[in-house]
């Protein structure tokens, strides 16, 4: 009897634990559902939590470049002290989905996953971001994805031909289609007018020879990585199965790896931003791949639907005048 | 004649055994050298790691960087007093301002909160496992604790995001903090506590199990209750083991990065005082988007300086804790004079009738 009695508190503890677990999952559920149906719950007197990417991000540079905060791209001291840094596009989206009072920006290719997670896309200057508005230029918060190739191949003419042909391939109908399906924004008109690979392959004699012993090094921006991988995979089959080696660390590596301090470590580099003052590519070694847009998002509980560049500036800038959601939604 | 043969045989045997002995000695020497070599490699690692971090960590103070059209090295004063990791360029002194001082405060603060949760819980849990729980239960719980110790930190981070963050958020909202998102210092502290508890518990249980049973019996025989015995005899005897557990747990918590990064957010500015606000620690800042940072840029190198600071803090805390351990459990080792003095001060505190003259 005593022995069985001894287990009573144990069972009590276990049920308590179980109920705790149940409760916590409950709260997370109700949290999600309550944020779905409500503009009522949204407390506009709360302070805004501006989320930003880190100083090495191309998205950050593009965003701040459009809201009159260019210098803040690489300098946190110009930002409001209530801002928080997130490490990646994915982090940005999950943070926006969790925090009702946050605002942030992310790349256009994540727009579907963002809305799935519970992030609301906000119009910028009255224009809703979509492929059409981005192509037409109405949605102005855009940036280019750029490429840069080596200017000196050290006499390796085979490599040079493949790289040249790859750059041309990015401008063909096949290439542009791949870019588009992987999140890049391309004008449909451009795709229609673009030549096919079959039409231009004759410009690169010997391109379809066996190149299975040639390694081409791709690198640079992580935002462009998916596009680059798909392009190289499909082009490799057209150009003698060369080996495509991808090492994407960030936009900064694109110039330094091809023509800068570490020239030669990359054959082709990609940037999710424009070249800066210290990165001057040699003639005919760089260009635009496609357009990407920066999307401003808030939590889906937030009633905000439109924001202007000026409002963004005042939210993010150190001397900005917008602190609470009342200041915008007012 | 025969004795000659025997003599010769004996000499022969002696010679052989001497040879054998020499061979064995030589073998021993080789084995010893081999072991020494292996030990050297192991102990060299700490020297190499420390040396690397020290050199890399000090570089930004002396190297001249050119970034965003400015030239200069890292500011020394802002590094320790700054309230922002990347505070841009200071025209007056011609230095880049990267601050780490506030990160140190944040790190210590979040750890302090986590110890408030983890240390008492661990001590009570290990006491339960070692002395109170019936045998089958004891086995189940200790297996559970051991399993908990082997869970990788990313998993703790995911758990934190899915369970702890919403929990902290509902607690915060219930307390009237409508703006809290759950991504906070408190969530990080809870995760740290969960992560360091298994380490603490397993060491503490081992030391509690090693207590001389006769002391327990003596206590019980003197009429002390089981609870009294557990607290006054068992815990007191296992003091040094408990401290060892705490030191190990603190080491684990201080160095943790991944899980904390996932649940604490990372505000760009200042010291976080409210447990329901997001915070940023040394490890988080070092890890934050390091993949995006250009190697050999100041933003990249400054993380090594932060690493150096973390290393120094961990060493200092370990040193401090070991000394405290010596004060509390002076039986284990002969304490230094300073520690004896501290201990006397300590007893003096507890005993108001202490006569100062006795100290002399």
Three-state SS letters, chain A: CHHHHHHHHHHHHHHHHHHHHHHHHHHHHHHHHHHHHCCCCCCCCCECEEEEECCCCHHHHHHHHHCCCHHHHHCHHHECCCCEEECCHHHHHHHHHHCCCEEEEEEHHHHHHHHHHCEEEEEECCECCCHHHHHHCCCCCEEEEEEEECCCCCCCHHHHHHHHHHHHHHCCHHHHHHHHHCCCECCHHHHHHCCCHHHHHHHCCCCCCCCCCCEEEEEECCCCHHHHHHHHHHHHHHCCCCEEEEECCCCHHHHHHHCCCCCCCCCEEEECCCCCCCCCCCCCCEEEEEEEEEEEEEECCCCCCEECHHHHHHHHECCCCCCECHHHHC
Residue A172: the pLDDT is 92
Yes or no, beta carbons of A81 and B270 under 8 Å apart: yes
SS3 assignment, position B48: helix
**Nearest-CB residue to A84 (from B137, B266, B293):** B266
Comparing CB atoms, the residue among A46, A71, A76 nearest residue B268 is A76
ipTM for the whole predicted complex goes beyond 0.90: no
Burial classification of residue B309, based on how many CB atoms lie within 10 Å of its CB (0-12 exposed, 13-18 middle, 19 or more buried):
buried
User: CA A77 to CA B323: how far, in whole Å?
Assistant: 41
**Among residues of chain A, what percentage have pLDDT more than 70?**
88
Map tokens 């069972």 to a residue: A11
Identity of the residue in B163, B269, B299 whose CB atom sits nearest the CB atom of A55: B299
SS3 state of residue B193? helix
How far apart CA A82 and CA B89 sit, in angstroms, is 20
Task: Quote the CA–CA distance of B148 and B130 in Å, as a whole number.
Answer: 18
Q: How many residues does chain A have?
A: 330
The CATH label, of 1.20.1070.10, 3.30.420.40, 3.40.190.10, 3.10.129.10, for the domain at A44-142+294-329 is 3.40.190.10
A262 phi/psi in degrees, rounded to 5: -105, 30
Residue B81 tokens, joined: 């007093």
Q: Are B279 and B188 in contact (CB under 8 A)?
A: yes
Please state, in angstroms and rounded to a whole number, the distance separating the CA atoms of residues A313 and B154. Answer: 36
Q: Give me the residue from B178, B268, B291 closest to A46, CB to CB.
A: B178
A residues 20-49 lying closer than 8 A (beta carbon) to B: 24-25, 27-28, 31, 43, 46-47, 49
Please provide residue B74's backbone torsions phi and psi, each rounded to the nearest 5 degrees. Answer: -85, 140
The tens digit of pLDDT for each residue in A288-321 reads 999 989 999 999 999 999 999 999 999 999 888 9
A98 close contact with B: CB closer than 8 A:
yes
Q: B9: which residues sit within 8 A by CB, 6+ positions away?
A: none
Distance from CA of B260 to the nearest CA of A (A): 13
Q: Between chain A and chain B, how many beta carbons pairs sit less than 8 Å apart? A: 119
Min Cα distance A221 → chain B (Å) is: 8
Whether residue B265 and residue A95 make contact (CB cut-off 8 A), yes or no, is: yes
Residue B29 in 3-state DSSP? helix
- The pLDDT score that the predictor gives to residue A35 is 40
Amino acid A223: pLDDT: 81
The string of pLDDT tens digits covering residues A77-136 is: 889 988 988 888 888 998 898 888 999 999 888 888 899 999 999 999 999 999 889 988
Q: Under a CB-based contact definition with an 8 Å cutoff, are residues A218 and A246 in contact?
A: yes
pLDDT at B296: 79
Query: Å from B177 to nearest chain A CA?
Result: 10
Average the pLDDT over A272-299 and give the result.
88
The reported pLDDT for the residue numbered A20 is 46
Domain ranges, ordered by start, for chain A: 44-142+294-329, 144-291
Q: Hey, is the C-beta of A101 within 8 angstroms of any chain B C-beta? A: yes
User: CATH number of the domain at A144-291, out of 3.10.105, 2.40.350, 3.40.390, 3.10.350?
Assistant: 3.10.105
Cβ A98–B265 below 8 Å, yes or no? no
Q: Are A48 and A103 in contact (CB under 8 A)?
A: yes
A55, B299 Cβ separation under 8 angstroms? yes
pLDDT in tens, chain B (360 residues): 678 888 899 998 998 888 888 888 999 999 999 999 999 999 899 899 999 999 999 999 998 888 777 888 888 889 998 888 888 888 888 888 899 999 999 999 999 999 999 999 999 999 999 989 999 999 999 899 989 888 998 999 999 988 999 999 899 888 888 778 888 999 999 999 999 999 999 999 999 998 888 989 999 999 999 999 998 889 888 888 898 999 999 988 888 888 898 888 888 888 888 889 889 999 998 888 777 777 778 888 899 999 999 999 999 998 888 888 877 776 555 656 666 777 776 666 555 444 544 544
Sequence-separated (6 or more) residues with CB below 8 Å from residue B49: none
**CB nearest to A84's CB, from B68, B278, B287:** B278
Nearest residue of B to residue A316 by CA position? B268
Q: Could you give the percent of chain A with pLDDT greater than 90? A: 31
Whole-number pLDDT of residue A39: 42
Q: Which residues of A touch B226 (CB under 8 A)?
A: none
Contact yes or no for A28 and B166 at CB 8 A: yes
Q: Angle, to 10 degrees, between the axis of helix B337-350 and the axis of helix B298-328?
A: 70
Residue B94 CA, chain-centre distance (Å), reads 38
What is d(CA B85, CA B290) in angstroms, rounded to the nearest whole number?
A: 14
Work out the angle between the directed axes of helices B185-209 and B239-255 (0-180°, nearest 10).
150
Q: In terms of Cα–Cα distance, which of B197, B174, B199, B172 is closest to B186?
A: B172
């Amino acid at each position: 009897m005593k022995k069985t009695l001894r287990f009573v508190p144990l069972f009590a503890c276990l049920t308590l634990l179980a109920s705790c677990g149940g409760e916590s999952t409950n709260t997370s559920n109700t949290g999600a559902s309550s944020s779905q149906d409500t503009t009522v719950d949204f407390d506009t007197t709360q302070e805004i939590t501006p989320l930003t990417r880190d100083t090495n991000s191309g998205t950050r540079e593009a965003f701040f470049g459009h809201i009159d905060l260019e210098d803040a791209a690489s300098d946190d001291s110009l930002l409001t002290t209530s801002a928080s840094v997130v490490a990646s596009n994915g982090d940005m989206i999950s943070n926006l989905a969790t925090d009702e009072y946050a605002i942030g920006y992310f790349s256009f290719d994540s727009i579907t996953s963002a809305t799935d997670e519970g992030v609301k896309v906000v119009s910028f200057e009255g224009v809703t971001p979509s492929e059409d508005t981005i192509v037409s230029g109405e949605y102005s918060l855009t940036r280019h994805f750029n490429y840069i190739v080596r200017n000196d191949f050290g006499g390796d003419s085979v490599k040079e031909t493949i790289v040249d042909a790859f750059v041309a391939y990015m401008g063909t109908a096949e290439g542009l289609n791949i870019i588009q399906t992987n999140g890049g924004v391309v004008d449909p008109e451009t795709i229609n007018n673009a030549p096919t690979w079959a039409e231009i392959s004759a410009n690169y004699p010997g391109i379809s020879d066996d190149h299975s012993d040639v390694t081409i090094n791709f690198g640079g921006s992580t935002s462009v990585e998916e596009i680059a991988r798909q392009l190289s995979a499909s082009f490799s089959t057209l150009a003698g199965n060369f080996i495509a080696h991808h090492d994407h660390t960030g936009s900064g590596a694109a110039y330094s790896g091809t023509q800068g301090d570490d020239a030669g470590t990359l054959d082709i580099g990609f940037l999710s931003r424009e070249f800066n003052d210290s990165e001057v590519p040699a003639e005919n070694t760089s260009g635009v791949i496609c357009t990407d847009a920066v999307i401003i998002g808030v939590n889906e509980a937030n009633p905000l639907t439109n924001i202007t560049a000026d409002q963004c500036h005042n939210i993010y800038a150190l001397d900005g005048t917008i602190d609470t959601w009342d200041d915008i939604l007012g | 004649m025969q004795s000659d043969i025997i003599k010769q045989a004996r000499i022969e045997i002696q010679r052989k055994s001497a040879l054998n002995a020499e061979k064995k000695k030589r073998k021993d020497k080789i084995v010893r050298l081999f072991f020494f070599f292996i030990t050297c490699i192991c102990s060299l690692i700490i020297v190499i790691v420390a040396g690397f971090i020290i050199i890399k960590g000090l570089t930004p103070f002396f190297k001249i960087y050119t970034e965003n059209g400015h030239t200069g090295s890292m500011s020394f004063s802002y590094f320790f007093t700054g309230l922002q990791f990347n505070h841009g360029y200071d025209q007056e002194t011609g230095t880049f301002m990267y601050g780490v001082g506030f990160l140190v405060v944040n790190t210590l603060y979040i750890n302090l909160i986590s110890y408030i949760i983890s240390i008492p819980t661990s001590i009570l849990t290990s006491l339960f496992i070692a002395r109170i729980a019936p045998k089958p239960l004891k086995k189940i719980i200790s297996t559970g604790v051991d399993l908990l110790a082997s869970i990788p930190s990313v998993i703790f981070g995911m758990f934190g995001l899915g369970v702890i963050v919403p929990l902290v958020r509902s607690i915060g909202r219930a307390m009237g903090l409508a703006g809290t998102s759950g991504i906070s210092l408190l969530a990080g502290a809870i995760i740290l506590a969960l992560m360091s508890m298994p380490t603490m518990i397993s060491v503490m249980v081992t030391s509690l199990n090693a207590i001389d049973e006769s002391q327990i019996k003596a206590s019980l025989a003197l009429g002390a209750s089981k609870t009294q015995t557990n607290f006054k005899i068992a815990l007191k005897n296992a003091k040094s083991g408990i401290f060892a557990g705490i030191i190990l747990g603190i080491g684990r918590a201080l160095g943790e990065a991944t899980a904390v990064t996932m649940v604490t957010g990372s505000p760009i500015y200042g010291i976080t005082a409210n447990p329901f606000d997001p915070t940023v620690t040394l490890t988080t800042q070092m890890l934050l988007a390091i993949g995006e940072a250009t190697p050999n840029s100041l933003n990249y190198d400054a993380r090594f300086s932060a690493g150096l600071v973390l290393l120094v803090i961990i060493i200092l805390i370990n040193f401090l804790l070991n000394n405290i351990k010596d004060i509390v459990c002076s039986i284990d080792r002969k304490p230094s004079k300073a520690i004896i003095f501290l201990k006397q001060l300590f007893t003096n505190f507890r005993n108001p009738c202490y006569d100062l003259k006795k100290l002399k």
